[in-house]
Amino acid sequence: MSLPSAKLVEETGLSFDDILIIPKSSEIETRADVDLSVQLGSIRLSLPIVSAPMDAVTGHRMAQAMAECGGLGIIHRFASIDEQISEVKKVKRARNVVILKPVVANEKHTLHEIKNLEEQYGIHSFPVVNNEGKLVGLLTRSDYILEENLTTKVADLMTPASQVKMLELKSMDSFDINLARSIIKESKIKILPIVDSTGALLGLVTRRDIIELSNTKATVDAKGRLCVGAAVGIRHDWLERAGQLADAEVDAICIDVANGYLKRVRECVRRLKNEYQHLTIIAGNVATQEGVLSLIESGVDVVKVGIGPGSVCTTRVVTGVGVPQATAIYWSASVKGDKKIIADGGCRTSGDIAKALALGGDSVMLGSMLAGTDESPGDVLVVNNRRVKSFRGMASAFAFRDKKEKLKDSVEFEPTPEGVSIGFSDYKGSVKEVLVSIEKALRSAFSYVGAHNLDEFHKRSQFIKITQSAIKESHPHSVTVIG
């Protein structure tokens, strides 16, 4: 066969089923000691899992659950700008360590009025402000619990502002949760008022909220709010969408297109990184060293790797283009340097996730494994006596049609569909249970290799190619499986 104008890469492309991680000597005494965390740009994940920006996977409920479990959700872009912004804001408001509008008392209030506030709101401590909103004192339960005269004024019970430890900021934009935590710890106080240079009350942080936040693995920003990402394209309203997402304090913007090796993608990365340096910029998808390097040279923080491995993607069948996912990750990791890569697609089991990370991935993006959960958009249906939720490819004909209707998008060239339009995913229950199961499996995988963290997992992992017989041997066999 003559190939005058093409080069045949003399390397066998491998998928996850073609390889196994080789176990090694391990000094890990308990899987609880394994650190699964990873830094993606400005975002720290305690669980290296990102939910795909698909309309059947990631809305605000999924993104909130992902962040609460230590991962990250990327809100899909097949919606109007206002709808996407609304989804982002719902996540950012779901948890807030700073009480921006605390219930306050006035120094002229009586103890009787404080008792009423206590009963109405179920709280026992109040910043005391004057008529101009400036902090003049702090009233806590210990200040009034023994007072019997209900006509006593707050001014006579409170601790004056001159004796109150507080945090002064120019605005809440400069709030740093770590600074607040250190002040509360060192001063041994329960409440930390936040004021501006004039003494006006901006907000309040409590020791209880700090402790609750410290005891969780949630993915949070500097203000203690849950982190969330959102996807944009590279045409039409992409820059306006990105700007409004930044204004809504999104934490990551994901340039989400089928071919991340386009010149246009690189131009968009440069523009976003130049204008929004504080945001984590994710872009893809690519599947080769050249593709990864092109995005890195454009300034991207995280590269999304995967052409055609998704469960509802038909790119390889329709176009004949792609790289088997295990090989794509391995190639990409070899040139990523200090940047990070997300292995997007191809994971059907927790073992596949472990392989993706071992090959050099810093995190994985999941679609089908998270679809069908309570937190994914859509209703639970019964099809052929099975409980399911709808699931489809974002490059499918139906997805394109819905996008045009929602965005009033007039496309001169209608692309060939590269995804499944109508599909179903089995109902899985809470996504948090799915993520806990994945986390436990990853801890076991790290333990088998003797890796305490992701960096060691990358360095210590070795693979062996396997045959179809070995694949069969890897799954339950010679028994009747009933559950």
Q: In the chain, what is the straight-line distance between the N-terminal and C-terminal CA atoms, in Å?
A: 50
Q: Are 105 and 114 in contact (CB under 8 A)?
A: yes
- Can you read off the two tokens belonging to residue 205? 């942080």
Nearest to 464 by CA among 25, 23, 24, 20: 20
Q: Cα–chain-centroid distance for residue 47?
A: 9
Q: Cα–chain-centroid distance for residue 457?
A: 22
Q: Are 335 and 360 in contact (CB under 8 A)?
A: no
- Can you read off the two tokens belonging to residue 176? 């740093």
Residue type, 198: T
Cα–Cα distance measured from residue 173 to residue 175, given in angstroms and rounded to the nearest whole number:
6
Residue 247 sits at the vertex; the CA angle it makes with 245 and 249, to the nearest 5 degrees, is: 75
Nearest to 361 by CA among 230, 458, 264: 458
Cα–Cα distance measured from residue 270 to residue 281, given in angstroms and rounded to the nearest whole number:
10
Residues belonging to the active site: 313, 401
